[in-house]
Structure 1
Amino acid sequence: MTDSARRAGYDRGPLLLGVRHHGPGSARAVRAALTAARPSTVLIEGPPEADALIPLAADPGLRPPVALLAHAVDEPGRSAFWPFAEFSPEWVAIRWALEHGVPARFIDLPATHTLAWEQREEQKEQQGQGGPQGADESEDTPGDGRPQDGGGHVRIDPLAVLAETAGYDDPERWWEDAVEHRGPGRHDPFAPFAALEDAMGALRERYGAGGHPRDPVREAQMRLQLRAARREFGDELAVVCGAWHVPALRARTTVAADRALLKGLPRVKVDLTWVPWTHRRLARAGGYGAGIDSPGWYGHLFHAPDRPVERWLTKVAGLLREEDRMVSSAHVIEAVRLAGTLAALRGRPLPGLSETTDVVRAVMGDGSDVPLALVHDRLVVGDVMGEVPQSAPAVPLQRDLARQQRALRLKPEALERELELDLRGDTDTGRSRLLHRLRLLGVDWGAPVRSRGSTGTFRETWRLRWEPELAVRIAEAGVWGTTVSGAAQAKAEADAAASRALADVTALAEHCLLAGLPDALPVVMRALADRAALDTDVGHLAQALPALVRSLRYGDVRGTDTGALAGVAAGLAERIFVGLPPACAALDADAAEEMRAHVDAVHAAVGLLAETQAGVGTGTDGTASGADRGDLRHRWRAVLRTLTLRDTVAGVLRGRAVRLLLDDGASGPQEAARLMGFALSPGTPPADAAAWIEGFAGGGGGLLLVHDERLLGLLDDWLTAVPAEAFTDVLPLLRRTFAAYDPGVRRTLGELVRRGPGRAGERAGAGGATPGFAAQADTERADAVLPVLRLLLGTDDAEPVTTDDNRFAGVGT
């Protein structure tokens, strides 16, 4: 045996390199140990089914962070991930093996058992059978209040125990001091692993499996794999695994005992592939159990050849400069000095993340935590996203999605961004259809948001962010088809058949139009007609109508034939007109509020429907003529008038009906004032009158009361006449109504009330003019502002503009 092999510890058996997952110090130490030991093969903690995927790590197109994704073939939504970053020791071991032509294999519990085990545990939890079985029953389990598993066994964090033993209250800080800042052993690259093995051995003697019931089974599998590798390659092999498992792999057990632990494990058929991962998902906040708090910081430590603190603070300064903060090189120099001083005062070998964070706050942030939030989000965690080559195994749906992403220039990114689409262009239309089709499939890569600066239906705004879990959703959606279009169509047809609520089917019809799936519309429309014919609930019909009308508008922009939708929409409107007045009678306060929302939605939908279909003649599909559709608005107004006059209708609905008629020009201010006078008469209970006011004055920002002082006067007179004993009951309703107004409107209303609403004429000067205002407009003063208006509106200087120009009507006033 060579001296190198003897130093590596091959005289005791395989070289066991215990590491911390995603630890840059462990990664550097693993690379140094493998270079010194030159093992014949490298065994790595991970699912053995992924052995065939290891050679892809040599492909330049596979860039970490990436993850091995295993999902059940029959149930793609059941999945598991094994993430790798550039600073993960396992990834370093894989790359070293490929670079040196050494075989590399995974030796952990197969994914076929892992996924089946999780499924069995979930079923037991649902059945109320308690936690997972087979947990270690060590009598030495500590009772110090640490987290417990489902079976009541205490789970320990090995790093936390070692940190506490060393006098640290933060495991991350202890790990940085003990490993990250000290680097691999210069004279003996195997010394750090020997020390960590001794520490973990002491912990395993004290705590057994540490409350992790799967660990004995996983370690039995690893020992069996290790024995098989020794028979094939000899003793000169290296094992890279979590340091917690090293004592168990070193323990002497029999083959029969290990196989007994693996006997009877459940199985499920699985597929594995590489998928992109992100730094955010490596963080504990991202939900990965073996994650780290600061992947961006650890990535920096791994790649920094020297002076890590200086390089890090320079990077922070660059980020803050990009955000227009005043940070100079002097700030960096001072921050470096202060970080070193803090580390010395705290007894640390080098400044860590806590020291650099403190100095950034003090030196570059002027004591504020605001820049720290930016630094943490962009640098400490980071938005790095990995890439996977096309040669990686993938379901056909994933390949079709990748092809469309390239064709439409939509690159998946971990950083959230907004995408503005103009649907008048072919590329943006294709992007919109792709994103809507993915939403139909449950792949929420993008979420639609409100467009800024334009209300046209030709514009869409999306908020995009790619999450690694979307790879699971794509695999799960692969059961519907091999292309995004085909899968979305099949999913829409299946959802239409399974939907029972009318609103769900109408929303589905809207999604089909947005996604450009005309072949799915016949099936959806049949389901829609069936549900509409059977549903007698006016609330359900009112929920369905707005979605149908929006779909008609979308059809105008996308060029989709929406004749069938028009017929169904007209039929729904007629049924609402007939059924709404009886449905509004005898409702309690909550039901009346809900019905008011339905009335508002139907009012907007009827107006939009009349505008969209105006002038269209009767077609072969039986849709109404333009004259009939013009009459649609008239019949709706008749329904609203009916609501205003029925005493059995809740006050909030009667007030809302009056307001809608007034806004629509179907009722004049005098009629509105007359109905308000009836509602606020002394014979009306104060609570009912307040509800009427809420329905009438709610919404619209309160401008109606500002401009119509007669209505404000009626309201003021009623409010001052409310008895003291009833005022407490009506106050919440009034407060809810007027609190929604803008501050400027509330201030104006207060001034009008203080002056006395409806008394402006009394204060007018000679000729009926309001004091401070002339009887006629002063055109000379108005002409003085015209050059500024030309500049703002971009009007040609040569074009004559006067105060008589319609574009500037009212300027002189």
Structure 2
Amino acid sequence: MEGRAEKKQAEKTRAKAKKGMPHAFGIRHLSPAGAYYVREYLDRADPQLVLIEGPEDFSELIGDLGSEEIEPPVAVMAYTKELPVRTVLYPFAVYSPEYQAILWAKEHGCECRFCDLPSEVFLGLEEERRKKWQKKLEEKQEPCQEPESPVAYVYRRLDELSGDGDNETFWERTMEHAGDVEGYHKGAAEFGRSLRALASGDIPGTEKAAKSGAAREGEEAEGAGGMPDGGEEGRREDGGENAENRIREAYMRRVVARAVKEGTSPEKIVVITGAFHVEGLMGEGKPMTEKEWKKLPRLEAKKTLMPYSYFRLSERSGYGAGNRAPAYYELLWEGLCRQEPDYAARRYLAALAAYQREHGNLVSSAEIIEAMRLSLSLAGLHGGRLPTLRDLRDAAVTCMGHGSFSEVALAVADTEIGTRIGSLPEGVSQTSIQSDFYRRLGELRLERYKSVAAQDLSLDLREKLTVKSQKSAFLDLERSFFLHRLRVLGISFAAIQAVKQERATWAEQWQLRWTPEAEIQIVEAVLKGDTIEQAASFALRERTMGSSGIAGIAAVIEDACDCGMPTSMEYAVSALQGTAVDAVSVTEIAETAGRLSSVLRYGDIRHLDRAPLVPILSQLFLRACLLLAGECACDEGAAKQIAQAVATLHEVSVNHDFLDGERWRRVLFEIAARDDLNTRLSGLAAAILLEAGQMNSEELGCEVQRRLSKGIPAELGAGWFAGLSMKNHYALIARLNLWEKLSEYLVTLDDEEFKRALVFLRRAFADFTSEEKNQIAENLGEIWQVNPSQASEVLNGPVSGEELEMLSGLDDFDFGDI
């Protein structure tokens, strides 16, 4: 039962409507029934002007949105002109009421505009909220939870109170199945009124409602001059969604008032807006004044159209104004257009069955029929005449999934969300960098990869000698340049994969997948340049200037080479020359040398001049040789990083004849022989020399005898062996005397020493394969004079409970002073 205040307000609204108010049709964004019935409503109203909720400055794009060549879903995006880029997105599906209203207006030659706050104001309000939230965080010095918004509270209460258990099902059963335009129109208006009452705590029939009504009467009696609905200060104090909604509604009333002043009769204006705002537009509020308008915060912004996807519209992608099942909602739209009420239910179950069959899961016709019958029964239990998505899904799980959702989960995702991506015709409003991106996609024959499904692309960067044109001969190389530029810009359309042939310099493997996020990233990159190449060049130069060390600059050189951008490469090389003299860390030098080596070895296939890198690499390599031995006097934590640096530097020395290889070998011999360095690194140096043929079996035997002796602490001896095993395993396995020495060494250890050694040996043998462990077992079987297969079975067998308990205790073993 309505309270007295609500009755009085409703009477005022109806009286005002009789005096000549614009028509208002309440909708829900992405509502198939709303999209269908809004056309019928417009047919009846026959307006001269259609106003649609949406940023007013988007009106200049309505002509493009109404183009017959556009394929929804698409979105209008506003973005700030300065970093960090802030965005406002307004997506449209074919079943969006706003989109159908735009099409109707175009078909009937009717003027159409958006009427909400301009995008620059939305961005400004969002920035104010962000600053306010940041200030709260700084004041409290700890994360604080934002209070639940009024609208979030309303929908949570709907979930709790609706017989269906969630507001999405409640809306579909009540509104999407409304049956006629009058039912939808009145239902949406009532739904909006109820939302406003709940959001403000103004619940009909309660004491608070009466107080709120009296408060409204008091506000109306106080006179004009302030901000509409309580003035600007009132809005600022509210500070939440209610305050912003009042600002928006005041602005929409301002747009309506302006249209009337320009000569359009109120009765010839139809406003298409969210159901929540109908009461606000048709109520007693006053239009926003010029003074109030000028006080609103703003961030300068640009606009663009972009393709969108059903996945992005779905709630799984995190888009708040989306719906759970965009592909299913399209079926509802098609059913309304066909005037077949049960079309969506039939097509949904048929699509589930088709997906299951395509993927090897049998679904019989009888199961489909039973699922249809069960869904109708479930709808009837809730007082509905048609099944909702929830009814259909429950029926499908029961009849097709045998009671298990996991059996139909993939089919449900495919049928409910779908893979549809919108498209824009060439020439439709886009930023310069978007146009360049799509032009390059066409030139490089990559358009078919513009799909939400990930697709693999293999590239052969070598010149193709069997084709006639130079463009075709280097097509894959140009593709590689383009994809690497996208990678440098952080555009997620392409991700490079590891190539199976690690040493194949001519092969690249990519995975391509288009998402609306990638489109947003492209638009954001316009601040760096008008084309992909210009933006990538700016990004590389920015990274070069921001690099604090030589490794970062070397990474830029490597990326510039991959992108095929010689100018950016020259700039980074120049910066590296000026910075390399300050390098003091062996790990940083090694990382830089590794990157430069990669460019020198593989850069020829990209046709870039690499000669300036040769003296830089020589200089860095010499410095590493001078510093390395001293840095090997370190703890285990640093040893891991230095070990990687040693491996990298050795690979660099092997790959380039112009480097001083003899000096490098002397450094390795020094590290291998010294007792005052980290033993793991000494072992690694010995392993490298052994692998390179610079250390013979006799020298290795002497080193083993020295390192694995009773006088050497267990952890040092085992650490040395762990370093020795970091390189060629087969070279170690083939030397039986090495395993004899290790066996003799372990026998001499007492229990505590053995535990110390075991910690390091476990780590060493963790990198050996099963086959390699079998071969070691064979060696030990021969040493111990037992059957090799028996030794292998014992050594590679399952660990007993007692052994497992002892091993788990090693992680917390007390190493005393080491």
Normalised to the residue count of structure 1, the TM-score between the two structures is: 0.81
The residue that corresponds to 1:459 in the other structure is 507
Cα displacement (A) at 1:250: 2.3
Q: How does 1:624-635 map to 2 (within 5 A)?
A: 624=658, 629=659, 632-635=660-663
Q: Are the counterparts in 2 of residues 709 and 758 from structure 1 also a CA contact under 8 Å? A: no
Q: Deviations over 1:143-187 (max 9, x none)?
A: xxxx9984776553534433433334222222222223x244266
Deviating more after overlay: 72-81 vs 52-61: 72-81
Change (3 A) 1:123 1:757: farther
Q: Aligned AA for 2:427?
A: S
CA distance in 1, matches of 2:686, 2:125: 63
Q: Are the counterparts in 2 of residues 21 and 242 from structure 1 also a CA contact under 8 Å? A: yes
Q: Are the counterparts in 2 of residues 159 and 175 from structure 1 also a CA contact under 8 Å? A: no
The residue that corresponds to 1:642 in the other structure is 670
Cα displacement (A) at 1:446: 1.1
Q: Are the counterparts in 1 of residues 673 and 682 from structure 2 also a CA contact under 8 Å? A: yes
Q: Are the counterparts in 2 of residues 63 and 387 from structure 1 also a CA contact under 8 Å? A: yes
The residue that corresponds to 1:786 in the other structure is none
Change (3 A) 1:439 1:167: same
The residue that corresponds to 2:280 in the other structure is 248
SS in 1 for 2:152: coil
* Larger helix percent: 2
Cα displacement (A) at 1:657: 1.6
Q: Are the counterparts in 2 of residues 279 and 382 from structure 1 also a CA contact under 8 Å? A: yes
CA distance in 2, matches of 1:235, 1:707: 95
Change (3 A) 1:122 1:204: closer
SS in 2 for 1:67: strand
Q: Deviations over 1:759-805 (max 9, x none)?
A: 58x989xxxxxxxxxxxxxxxxxxxxxxxxxxxxxxxxxxxxxxxxx
CA distance in 1, matches of 2:405, 2:679: 51
CA distance in 2, matches of 1:222, 1:186: 24
The residue that corresponds to 2:258 in the other structure is 228
Q: How does 1:419-568 map to 2 (within 5 A)?
A: 419-424=457-462, 425-452=473-500, 455-568=503-616
The residue that corresponds to 1:81 in the other structure is 89
Deviating more after overlay: 512-521 vs 288-297: 288-297
CA distance in 2, matches of 1:329, 1:65: 33
Q: Work out which of the residue numbers 665, 673, 695 in structure 1 matches 2:693.
A: 665
SS in 1 for 2:54: coil
Q: Aligned AA for 2:187?
A: P
SS in 2 for 1:83: strand
Deviating more after overlay: 243-252 vs 224-233: 224-233
Q: Deviations over 1:290-318 (max 9, x none)?
A: 22222222222222443322211222222
CA distance in 2, matches of 1:404, 1:121: 39
CA distance in 2, matches of 1:345, 1:679: 82
Cα displacement (A) at 1:361: 4.0
| Gapped regions of structure 2 (runs ≥ 5) | 1-13, 203-211, 213-237, 463-472, 790-818
Are 1:118 and 2:126 an aligned pair?
yes
Q: Aligned AA for 1:512?
A: A
Cα displacement (A) at 1:397: 2.5
CA distance in 1, matches of 2:314, 2:93: 12
SS in 2 for 1:473: helix
Q: How does 1:212-611 map to 2 (within 5 A)?
A: 212-231=242-261, 232-236=263-267, 237-255=269-287, 262-304=293-335, 305=338, 306=340, 307-344=343-380, 349-365=385-401, 369-411=405-447, 412-424=450-462, 425-452=473-500, 455-585=503-633, 587-610=634-657
Q: Are the counterparts in 2 of residues 698 and 738 from structure 1 also a CA contact under 8 Å? A: no
Q: Aligned AA for 1:516?
A: G
SS in 1 for 2:618: helix
CA distance in 2, matches of 1:749, 1:343: 69
Q: Aligned AA for 1:607?
A: V
SS in 2 for 1:447: strand
Deviating more after overlay: 343-352 vs 532-541: 343-352
CA distance in 2, matches of 1:488, 1:303: 44
Q: Deviations over 1:195-245 (max 9, x none)?
A: 324433432452698755422222221221222234442223222222222
Q: Work out which of the residue numbers 185, 191, 201 in structure 1 matches 2:186.
A: 191
Are 1:202 and 2:197 an aligned pair?
yes
CA distance in 1, matches of 2:28, 2:730: 64
Change (3 A) 1:194 1:723: same
Cα displacement (A) at 1:562: 1.2
Cα displacement (A) at 1:46: 0.9
Cα displacement (A) at 1:452: 3.7
Q: Are the counterparts in 1 of residues 544 and 553 from structure 2 also a CA contact under 8 Å? A: yes
Deviating more after overlay: 182-191 vs 219-228: 182-191
CA distance in 1, matches of 2:281, 2:725: 75
Q: How does 1:729-748 map to 2 (within 5 A)?
A: 729-746=756-773
Deviating more after overlay: 637-646 vs 301-310: 301-310
Q: Deviations over 1:407-444 (max 9, x none)?
A: 11112332222211111241111111111122233333
SS in 1 for 2:514: coil
CA distance in 1, matches of 2:243, 2:754: 64
Q: Aligned AA for 1:67?
A: A
Cα displacement (A) at 1:556: 2.3
Are 1:685 and 2:713 an aligned pair?
yes
SS in 2 for 1:448: strand
Q: How does 1:797-812 map to 2 (within 5 A)?
A: none
Q: Aligned AA for 1:386?
A: G
Deviating more after overlay: 24-33 vs 442-451: 24-33
SS in 2 for 1:156: helix
CA distance in 2, matches of 1:367, 1:58: 45
Change (3 A) 1:404 1:152: closer
CA distance in 1, matches of 2:788, 2:81: 82
Change (3 A) 1:608 1:333: farther
The residue that corresponds to 2:230 in the other structure is none
Q: Are the counterparts in 2 of residues 499 and 505 from structure 1 also a CA contact under 8 Å? A: yes
Cα displacement (A) at 1:269: 2.1
Q: Aligned AA for 1:672?
A: L
Change (3 A) 1:53 1:763: closer
CA distance in 2, matches of 1:370, 1:665: 58
The residue that corresponds to 2:739 in the other structure is 712
Cα displacement (A) at 1:454: 6.9
Q: Are the counterparts in 2 of residues 680 and 718 from structure 1 also a CA contact under 8 Å? A: yes
Q: How does 1:166-177 map to 2 (within 5 A)?
A: 166-177=162-173
Percent identity over the alignment is 31
Q: Aligned AA for 1:712?
A: W
The residue that corresponds to 2:815 in the other structure is none
Cα displacement (A) at 1:655: 1.7
Cα displacement (A) at 1:688: 2.1
Change (3 A) 1:331 1:555: same
CA distance in 2, matches of 1:751, 1:241: 80
Tell me how many residue pairs correspond in the alignment: 719
Change (3 A) 1:323 1:663: farther
The residue that corresponds to 1:654 in the other structure is 682
Change (3 A) 1:205 1:214: closer
Change (3 A) 1:595 1:238: same
Q: Work out which of the residue numbers 55, 59, 75 in structure 1 matches 2:63.
A: 55
CA distance in 2, matches of 1:83, 1:763: 70
Change (3 A) 1:275 1:697: same
The residue that corresponds to 1:782 in the other structure is none
